[in-house]
Amino acid sequence: MNEQEYKEVFENLKKNSIGNNKRSSNKRSLKKIVLNASMASILVTFLTGCSIGLKESNNNDYSNEKITEESNFYGYGKGFLEQSEKLDTSNLMENHNLTEFNLIDGKRQYNYSKEEYSKIYTLTDSYLYGFYLLTTEDTFNTVLSSRGYESFDDFLRKNGYINSKGEPSREMWEVDSLNKAATRLNNLEEEMGYSR
Amino acid sequence: MNDFNTVFLDNNLEYIILNTIELNGYNYLILVNVNNYKDFAIRREENNELIGLNNEIEFNNVLLAFFQKIGGV
């Protein structure tokens, strides 16, 4: 989706949401539904539309200034990809009812044990970048240990993120993670039939 | 195939409840149209009814709360 399409998503949301003459029953139905897109990609559409729309209409700071900058990753901005990774990780925790956290300097401090993370069978190394962005260093280290790593450097070394001096490179991992996130989103958008 | 809670809004279209947010003593629902994943809406729960938001300020506050909930921003 391009920026104009996201703006349209936002304007439609606003039109659909404001107006206290809009009234309907709160009766809910539990239904089995086949989604033609992943829940994460739907939420990313919502999140990005809101980010772009709010920024334009209110000039507010929602920490998404980078969405239209640094669009080096298959056309996605770094800030957008980081939000998407945080969202995926947040959803992973929520889907396993691990929802208790404190915010410390804007990052989530989850107080779950290494063993509890180990039980999340869908928690693969691909989520580590999301944890790195979303959570505190303590939480990130606990998640790393649940994946069998002794430390962040141990993770970087074992996965080949080594610079020319033979030192573990956080930067190499970050660029690789952003590229992988962009590839995943690109594939999702293609599946959803969005043209970019 | 997954189980989803859905509601019908005043436009007679069915929406999936994507997320809920508590703010200022109210529950708000973030909704997406079952048949159009670009069609979203927000409603406030009140006395067994789903009601549109009062104004742009309430709208912006709900979105900000949602951002804080999901992204730690």
pTM of model > 0.80: no
Q: Could you read off the pLDDT of B21-46 as tens digits, one per residue?
A: 888 788 999 999 999 999 999 999 99
Distance from CA of A157 to the nearest CA of B (A): 29
Contact (CB<8Å) B17/A62: no
Of A30, A73, A39, the C-alpha closest to B19 is A39
Categorize the per-residue pLDDT at A35 as very low, low, confident or very high, splitting at 50, 70 and 90.
Answer: confident
* pLDDT at residue number B38: 92
* pLDDT at residue number A79: 76
| Mean pLDDT score of chain A | 82
Report the alpha-carbon distance of residue A27 to residue B5 in Å, rounded: 10
Report the alpha-carbon distance of residue A180 to residue A13 in Å, rounded: 30
The mean pLDDT of A119-139, rounded to a whole number, is 93
**Residue B12: other Cβ atoms inside 10 A:** 7
The residue among A12, A14, A24 with the most chain B CBs within 10 A of its CB, best to mutate, is A24
User: Which residues of chain A lie closer than 8 angstroms to B64, CB-CB?
Assistant: 62
Contact (CB<8Å) A17/B73: no
Is the Cβ–Cβ distance between A79 and A37 less than 8 Å? no
Categorize the per-residue pLDDT at B71 as very low, low, confident or very high, splitting at 50, 70 and 90.
Answer: low
Task: Write the ipTM.
Answer: 0.94
Question: Chain B: residue nearest A59 by CA?
Answer: B60
Give chain A's count of helices (H) and strands (E): 8, 4
For residue B50, which amino acid is it? L
Nearest CB among B3, B19, B48 relative to A31 is that of B3
Residue B57 has pLDDT above 80, yes or no: no
User: Which residues of chain A lie closer than 8 angstroms to B39, CB-CB?
Assistant: 12, 16
Q: What is the dihedral of CA A175, A42, B40, B12, to 10 degrees?
A: 170
User: Which residues of chain A lie closer than 8 angstroms to B45, CB-CB?
Assistant: 26
